[in-house]
Amino acid sequence: MSFPSRPGSRRFRLPSGSLLRVGAPMMLAVVGGSFALSMFTDVGIQQKDKRRKFYRSESELGLDHERKRSSLQEELEKTVGKIDLEHWEMKRVERRQDAYEQV
């Protein structure tokens, strides 16, 4: 292992202008990439907005204006009203044959 006789030789000296050689292109790439990505996202958002159609009223959608709004409670009462709770019988549901093997 040999040491250089002069400490300021080329081996230990940083190249002059390294910030300009390395830093400037890197900063240019970062700033340029950011600008390009923002343009691409703007174009994408504009294209999505063009594809969508916003309907402001139900008539444009073709929906019935005179429909009755029902609540969840009313729907429950209708469903329970259809079930005959007086005359029911308990029936066992048939199982598959392989269901017994898994138990």
For 30-76, how does the pLDDT look when each residue is reduced to its tens digit (9 = 90+)? 999 999 999 999 988 888 888 776 666 666 666 666 667 778 999 99
45 within a domain of the structure (yes/no): yes
9 within a domain of the structure (yes/no): no
33 within a domain of the structure (yes/no): yes
30 within a domain of the structure (yes/no): yes
24 within a domain of the structure (yes/no): yes
Q: What is the pTM of this model?
A: 0.35
Q: What distance in Å separates the CA atoms of residue 30 and residue 23, rounded to the nearest whole number? A: 11
34 within a domain of the structure (yes/no): yes
User: Considering the chain, what is the average pLDDT of its residues?
Assistant: 78
The whole domain housing 24 covers 18-52
89 within a domain of the structure (yes/no): no
Structural domains in the chain (count): 1
Average pLDDT over residues 23-29: 91
CA nearest to 41, candidates 49, 52, 31, 30: 49
